[in-house]
Chains A and B, each alone.
Chain A
């Protein structure tokens, strides 16, 4: 409005000596811009709430949203999301005055539905938003299911997908109409079962390397190994399963071990940092295999287990308590996004990092 008024009724510039002719117009400029910005943010927020509501309604009706690439997703490719993420991390790591801390954290909790009563420390003891974000919880806030035949959730979040992976080219559905390969997600793994029928229990107990296995064709194995009674054959077969859990900004962001687990290696893919919200999963191809991620692989009582912690724009770095020296979301040395993953084997001769069910193993950090 201020701009419009200014252009419609041009007035002589106020001189140093004389003026004051346009001072009233200028005084409208800042409030006008502020009001326009607030209105714009309000409209965007309302639109987002409306979209979320519509999505929720569709989900309740059982209508599954399909993959649908759009212009915004293409535009995201052009943005320096990693730099923006690090900038966000820098800002959120700044120390907040003690008197202001409870107000900011309460506002955050209101906006993202966090439960502040679970926080282990009083709010004014979190020096920065980043510290608050990866806060620990009060003792007993997350009881661990102690059942011996149960796998527990490693994080707080929303279950997006789960199921069994079948066939040699096992695919995980990102959203209806688009899937990605588990091998692309985890990388070339010596432990990942490759058998199509899921009967891969020998992977656990025998030390046959992938190379050796690939050299033996199925008929050679069949002829060389006559059918004899084998005590291990009375054990149930094993299938390969997956579960995808999404963490909203207000969720507790520490990662725990889903079972008693021996982690044998860690793989770090330095990729992009797209957002991972519901809209992004519907519009960005290969979201999970393009984003920066840390893969932990190892063995548990039932065989193979891998956990992929995938970063996003606002929560870009992944911290491992079992390997504090690992730093993710660093400035890139190369422009290309297809760098090979950096891998570290924990220990040697199969001795890795032993974790008990429920042990903390890492956290997602801001920026």
Chain B
């Protein structure tokens, strides 16, 4: 079984390139993850 999560999250107001996103995933491909562990975080400016 598989779960696909699709969601909106904040990105930088000034730039939209990868490096300036405010929301960042804190996992990598192939990582094992458990319920309740952070998938990603963002910081309000």
- A237 and B34: CB pair below 8 A? no
Interface range, A side? 35 or more
- B33 and A159: CB pair below 8 A? yes
Instruction: Write the chain A residue with the least CB distance to B11.
Output: A239
Query: Any chain B CB within 8 A of the CB of A193?
Result: yes
Q: Please tell me the number of chain B residues within 8 Å of chain A, measured between CB atoms.
A: 38
Assuming the contacts A236-B11, A236-B13, A239-B23, asked whether A152 and B4 have C-beta atoms less than 8 A apart, the reply is: no
- B2 and A276: CB pair below 8 A? yes
A278 to B43, CA, bound (A): 34
- Residues of A contacting B6 with CB < 8 Å? 165, 182, 185-186, 192, 240-242, 304-308
- Residues of B contacting A147 with CB < 8 Å? 38, 41
- Residues of A contacting B41 with CB < 8 Å? 147, 149-151
- B1 and A193: CB pair below 8 A? no
Assuming the contacts A142-B35, A198-B16, A237-B13, asked whether A159 and B7 have C-beta atoms less than 8 A apart, the reply is: no
Shortest CB-to-CB span from A251 to chain B, Å, is 9
- Residues of A contacting B25 with CB < 8 Å? 162, 241, 243
- Residues of B contacting A172 with CB < 8 Å? 4
A246 to B33, CA, bound (A): 10
- Across the A-B interface, how many residue pairs have beta carbons closer than 8 Å? 199
- Residues of B contacting A253 with CB < 8 Å? 1
A244 to B8, CA, bound (A): 15
- A247 and B2: CB pair below 8 A? yes
- Residues of A contacting B35 with CB < 8 Å? 142, 144, 152-156, 252, 254, 256, 358
Instruction: Write the chain A residue with the least CB distance to B37.
Output: A153
Query: Any chain B CB within 8 A of the CB of A300?
Result: yes
Task: Give the A-binding residues of B (Cβ under 8 A).
Answer: 1-13, 16, 18, 21-23, 25, 27-45
The 6 closest A-B CB pairs, nearest first, are A303-B8, A144-B36, A236-B10, A239-B11, A308-B4, A305-B7
Task: Give the B-binding residues of A (Cβ under 8 A).
Answer: 59, 142-145, 147, 149-162, 164-165, 172, 182, 185-186, 192-193, 197-198, 200, 234-247, 252-256, 258-259, 276, 288, 300, 302-312, 315, 358, 364
- Other than the given A160-B30, A162-B27, 10 more pairs (CB < 8 A) read A144-B35, A150-B38, A154-B3, A156-B35, A157-B3, A159-B33, A246-B1, A253-B1, A306-B5, A306-B6
